[in-house]
Amino acid sequence: MTKVLLVANTDWYLYNFRLTLAGRLRACGYDVALVSPAGAYVERIQEAGFRWLEWPVSRQSMQPFRESAAVWRLYRLYHRERPDLVHHFTAKPVLYGTLAARLAGVRAVVNSITGLGYLFIQNSLRVRLVRWWVVQLYRLAFHHPGVAVIYENEADRAFFLERRLVAPAQTTIIRGVGVDLEKFQPAPEVDGAPLVILPARMLHDKGVGVLVEAARRLKQERAVRVALVGGNDRGNPANISEATLRAWVEEGAVEWWGFRGDMPEVYRQAHIVTLPSLGEGLPTVLLEAAASGRPIVTTDVPGCREAVVDGVTGILVPPNDPLALAAAIEKLLDDPALRRKMGQNGRQRVVDNFSGEQIVSETMTVYNKVLKG
């Protein structure tokens, strides 16, 4: 029986975004286990019938001894489990996992680049120094015939190819993690003041502050609600403090709903969904919003632009531009018919291109290819 390990830096990611893949693997006769640090979602993973293996790793640490220990622990896990294939998600699992897999003699490695992330968006001196080392690690890890790399958009793949971090034949584009079309269904708009939501972790890189400034401008002229839907991410350097979020709420600029486990209901309440991010792989929240029949306002940056057809399923605006963001939201607030039309177009586009089953099938094709060598 072929053994596959799915490896991420949080159990939350595996449960919310890769459980469908794990289920398909199991149904196809694979021996599948999920690997991550311990967290609140481990019990849910186990209740779904999957074996979970602990890999202690810090998302924020850059201490050489601590990071070397994380690689060693993963090597020991691979050496003990003897998987036929490992699939890594997000930066540290991709880097550390690929090195550990090569040391342990794992014959097939699949890496998913789910966006370039903080190190490639910010540009401080410290970030630039760390980024240089990360690029060297990518080059070392990926130059091996048993490694396949999945990107969620063409811009991220081009970034790696231009720097010769990976060979073209190793790369594949698979657009996102897929959407459960039964779970996320269109619904009529609710009555009352229109609601604009930003569903994301509360990070500066997600454009949260840009939306707050846009909301201030919108509220000067109209009755509109703007809600931030997501929790803090203290392990991320771009985290927005709870004190800042509560100050925005006290000011009356926005509502902060925190983390919500009932996103279909959240989208049902919304009239417009926005994500003014600085860069993504392919944001699942925007595809879920489109599947729910809601128009989108997002930024014209890699990942976000792939989630929207400008003028058809939503509106693209420049990054870090609260005036443009406010104007795009205002356009949709003033035109309910346009909102409905964009929502209908978005739903059909997700059905045609981004269903969970389609994405899983494309991923399984990569597995079969790399397992065959």
pLDDT, tens only, 261-305: 899 999 999 999 999 999 888 999 999 999 999 999 999 999 999
More confident: 125 or 273: 273
User: Looking at residue 159, what is its pLDDT?
Assistant: 83
User: Looking at residue 63, what is its pLDDT?
Assistant: 59
Task: Please name the fold of domain 3-178+355-371.
Answer: Rossmann fold (3.40.50)
Confidence of residue 166 (pLDDT cuts 50, 70, 90): confident
User: Looking at residue 128, what is its pLDDT?
Assistant: 66
Q: Which three-class secondary structure state does DSSP give residue 28?
A: coil
Beta strands at 255-256 and 31-36: parallel, antiparallel or unpaired: unpaired
User: Looking at residue 88, what is its pLDDT?
Assistant: 97
Q: How many CB atoms lie within 10 A of CB 199?
A: 24
Asked whether the predicted pLDDT for residue 155 surpasses 60, the reply is yes
User: Looking at residue 62, what is its pLDDT?
Assistant: 59
Name the least confident of 32-41, 218-227, 229-238, 343-352: 229-238
pLDDT tens by residue, 53-84: 999 987 655 556 677 898 999 999 999 999 99
> Position 285: which residue type?
V
pLDDT tens by residue, 315-330: 999 999 999 999 999 9
Rounded CA-CA distance 76/117 in Å is 28
Find, among 4, 1, 42, the residue nearest to 23 by Cα: 4
pLDDT tens by residue, 236-259: 778 899 999 999 999 999 999 999
Q: How many residues does the chain have?
A: 373
Q: Half-sphere exposure of 323 toward its Cβ, with a 13 Å CA cutoff?
A: 0
Confidence of residue 145 (pLDDT cuts 50, 70, 90): confident
Rounded CA-CA distance 239/271 in Å is 27
Rounded CA-CA distance 301/280 in Å is 8
Q: Mean pLDDT over residues 195-217, rounded? A: 96
Angle at 321 between CA 326 and CA 90, to 5 degrees: 110
User: Looking at residue 142, what is its pLDDT?
Assistant: 82
Residue 62 near residue 68, CB atoms below 8 Å: no
Residue 74 near residue 102, CB atoms below 8 Å: no
Rounded CA-CA distance 114/93 in Å is 12
Angle at 263 between CA 38 and CA 358, to 5 degrees: 80
H helix runs in 163-257, sequence order: 208-219, 242-251
Whole-number average pLDDT of the chain: 91
Query: What is the pTM assigned to this prediction?
Result: 0.87
CA R_g for the chain: 21
Where are the domains positioned within the chain?
A: 3-178+355-371, 195-353
More confident: 164 or 274: 274
Name the least confident of 116-120, 131-135, 359-363: 116-120
Asked whether the predicted pLDDT for residue 130 surpasses 80, the reply is no
User: Looking at residue 119, what is its pLDDT?
Assistant: 57
User: Looking at residue 113, what is its pLDDT?
Assistant: 85
Q: What percent of the chain has pLDDT over 70?
A: 93
Rounded CA-CA distance 120/116 in Å is 6
Q: Half-sphere exposure of 184 toward its Cβ, with a 13 Å CA cutoff?
A: 27
Asked whether the predicted pLDDT for residue 118 surpasses 60, the reply is no
Domain 3-178+355-371 and domain 195-353 have a common topology: yes
Residue 304 near residue 121, CB atoms below 8 Å: no
CATH of domain 195-353: 3.40.50.2000
More confident: 63 or 223: 223
User: Looking at residue 122, what is its pLDDT?
Assistant: 58
Q: How many CB atoms lie within 10 A of CB 127?
A: 16
Asked whether the predicted pLDDT for residue 13 surpasses 80, the reply is yes
pLDDT tens by residue, 81-113: 999 999 999 888 998 999 899 999 999 999 998
User: Looking at residue 237, what is its pLDDT?
Assistant: 78
